[in-house]
Structure 1
Amino acid sequence: MTAQPLHYFDFSQEDRYAETMSGPVAEMWKQRQEGTFKGVDDLNIGWVSLTGYNHDKAIIVVNGRIESYWKYQELFYDLVKQGYDVYAIDHRGQGISDRLAKDNELGHVEEFDDYVTDLKTFFDTVVTPKKYQQHFLLGHSMGGTISTLFLAKYPSLIKRAVLSAPMHGIQLSNWMKPIASPFARVVEQLQRQPNYAPGQVPYYPKPFLNNKLCQSQIRYQWFRDLYEHKPALKIGGPSARWVWQGMAAANRCITQAANIATPILLIQGSDDNIVDNQAHHRFCQAMNQANRSCELKTINGARHELLFEKDAYRNTVLAATFSHLNQDNSTPST
């Protein structure tokens, strides 16, 4: 079945942002369900759901490093308006979930695959019992890495997936690329306990001017204000262990791409200074060479936070996302 064309005015817009966030988004957020489950090593992992909008299809949003599902209320609103039940978790070590270090603002993980295992536990214990016919996935940045590894390990669970600026590689200078991972390993060994990687610091609210994330000042200020209102959500720089674990996981995304059966739409911003856009090309090439479906879409002028960008970019991202998710929507997933 061919999806109906989407109009940009169907999505939340900047010129009505304050009204939308304090009105219909706030009303929707009041209807959320929240809970926790036990992840790897018995950590408490927080989750949220917005249900009752569609009995047949659900979408799982997998957020990025330092993020919380609290940040994605506007996106959830747009997903709900398009008829999806929405699910999301806060990864171990961030958001409302249990931390892994004495410094609560340190972005740390012991094993990157623990993120993937937690996501599978969430899928099995919270989402699957609802008996949806179709499950979809939307992963951003580090959440794109987690989603990719999840899809490679469990190829029959998700009908279609969208990866927003996935961390299939971290943008580094050419001289730094070959030494970044081994250097981080050495630093970790020298540290007596988990600590920040060189050059990384606790959370601080970077000013909008010259930020690398997005060009929508109203959206950027909203999520910075959110972290001030809910300081427990704050996460700063990554630990040395997170750095080399993250880089290894990014590499595995490409080497395991052929294992993915789910059709993928990968969206990147041409002006992204956080992740390595060239790695996206290698990932899609690896999928396509294995006769898998991976479409790469570049949003010219957009930065890393594609789902928090100016309307001129975000509208295009959302239209492409829903167009991809809605393809062949008459056929249930396995």
Structure 2
Amino acid sequence: MTLLSIPANPVPEDVVSGTIRTPDGVELRFARWAPPANRKGTVCLFTGRGECIEKYFETVRDLRDRGFAVAMIDWRGQGHSARGLRNGRKGYVRRFSDYEIDVETFVQQIVLPDCPPPYFALAHSMGGAVMLRLAYAGKRWFDRIVMTAPMIDLPGRVTAWPARALLRTLRFAGLGGAYVPRGEDVIVGTGPFVGNPVTSDPVRYARNAAILEEDPTLGIAAPTIAWADTAFRTMHGFRALDYPSKIRQPILMLAASNDTIVSTAAIEEFAYHLRAGSHLVIAGAKHEILQEQERYRSQFWAAFDAFVPGTPLFK
């Protein structure tokens, strides 16, 4: 399966792309880039909700310039991986653990056989939530994990009990495949730049919108009730006092001070209780730190370079 290349966003060279199939029969699109000469291992890049491989071509180049091979997937239900509903625009997943199946399939079929060790993970937003669940479960594929604006909670009291109860009720009523209340059938990331909640960089925003304009089938619209139900339950689970302390892997969390998508305060609180974790709040940045202006991205890369590859805990 080929990757979309447009003049504003060409495919980085030395790529192999295709599809893999999960044990539960879902076809996932993957891409991997060969390591440069000064190889340091492989960074597995996990996107957020509604994103696709193409959106991170710039990040792929940044990582390869640092000596890393890179490997990615499109999550089930987005990008050019299989969609779970007839209306492919609907952001749908039955349960959050399905994303963990995606990661394990990817690791077993692509990363371990074809990518040079050691292995690191770089995950954004929803991808960060998936990585936290895997780390909590004791999966140790990655020596170190870096997260940008991980989806630990949403701002305000959005995920409080009344909202969770409403979503459960609607799902039990057979509405799991419907959009969340006030959800629109408009592809995320195609609206006007002014007032957008994800980045203050107009050039990168326009580039990402151009990808979806060229191929709208890469995008998705609002989440469904089923997705929101399982995501809200996952975020509620992160609130357990012993959740972060049971994670043993070194983790670096980067949060954005102007984030209105996920809760920066929740990220700081969670990171504070990690046994081998640290965090940094990038002042002025919005949610998509890797799609932000250079003055914010440079702070991310300085923190990344200080943390990865690092010193292995075990020889």
Give the TM-score normalised by the residue count of structure 2. Answer: 0.90
Residue of structure 1 equivalent to 2:266: 279
1:121-200 alignment, distance < 5 Å: 121-130=105-114, 132-172=116-156, 174=157, 177-192=160-175, 194-200=177-183
Deviations 1:101-139 (A, max 9, x none): 111100000010010121011111111113633110000
Displacement of 1:282 after TM fit?
2.7
Query: Aligned partners of 1:193 and 1:248: how far apart in 2?
Result: 14
Deviations 1:34-88 (A, max 9, x none): 1211125201011110113265510100100000011100000100100000001
Displacement of 1:153 after TM fit?
1.9
Match of 1:303 among 271, 275, 286: 286
Query: Aligned partners of 2:115 and 2:219: how far apart in 1?
Result: 35
Residue of structure 2 equivalent to 1:34: 17
1:224-243 alignment, distance < 5 Å: 224-243=209-228
Residue of structure 2 equivalent to 1:6: none
Amino acid at match of 1:229: E
Amino acid at match of 1:295: S
Query: Aligned partners of 1:111 and 1:253: how far apart in 2?
Result: 16
Query: Aligned partners of 1:298 and 1:313: how far apart in 2?
Result: 10
Amino acid at match of 2:284: G
Deviates more, 1:140-149 or 1:254-263: 254-263
Q: 1:175 to 1:122 in 2, by over 3 A?
A: closer
Query: Aligned partners of 2:247 and 2:145: how far apart in 1?
Result: 11
Residue of structure 2 equivalent to 1:315: 298
- Return 5+ residue gaps in structure 1 as ranges: 1-20
Amino acid at match of 2:306: S
Query: Aligned partners of 1:333 and 1:294: how far apart in 2?
Result: 17
Conserved in 2, the CA contact under 8 Å of 1:120 and 1:150?
Answer: no
- C-alpha root-mean-square deviation of aligned residues, in Å? 2.1
Deviations 1:184-226 (A, max 9, x none): 1222233456110101112242110011000000000100110
Q: 1:22 to 1:176 in 2, by over 3 A?
A: closer
Pair 1:118-2:102 in alignment = yes
Pair 1:261-2:248 in alignment = yes
Conserved in 2, the CA contact under 8 Å of 1:61 and 1:86?
Answer: yes
Q: Which secondary structure state, in structure 1, belongs to the residue aligned with residue 24 of structure 2?
A: helix
Q: Which secondary structure state, in structure 2, belongs to the residue aligned with residue 45 of structure 1?
A: strand
Give the TM-score normalised by the residue count of structure 1. Answer: 0.86
Deviates more, 1:55-64 or 1:82-91: 55-64
Residue of structure 1 equivalent to 2:89: 105
Conserved in 2, the CA contact under 8 Å of 1:151 and 1:158?
Answer: no
Conserved in 1, the CA contact under 8 Å of 2:40 and 2:309?
Answer: no
Displacement of 1:323 after TM fit?
1.5
Query: Aligned partners of 1:162 and 1:271: how far apart in 2?
Result: 19
- Return 5+ residue gaps in structure 2 as ranges: 1-5
Q: Which secondary structure state, in structure 2, belongs to the residue aligned with residue 315 of structure 1?
A: helix
Q: Which secondary structure state, in structure 2, belongs to the residue aligned with residue 42 of structure 1?
A: coil
Residue of structure 1 equivalent to 2:200: 215
Query: Aligned partners of 2:172 and 2:232: how far apart in 1?
Result: 17
Conserved in 1, the CA contact under 8 Å of 2:35 and 2:64?
Answer: no
Over the matched positions of the two proteins, sequence identity in percent amounts to 27
Query: Aligned partners of 2:175 and 2:116: how far apart in 1?
Result: 47
Query: Aligned partners of 1:242 and 1:254: how far apart in 2?
Result: 19
Conserved in 2, the CA contact under 8 Å of 1:306 and 1:313?
Answer: yes
Conserved in 2, the CA contact under 8 Å of 1:39 and 1:118?
Answer: yes
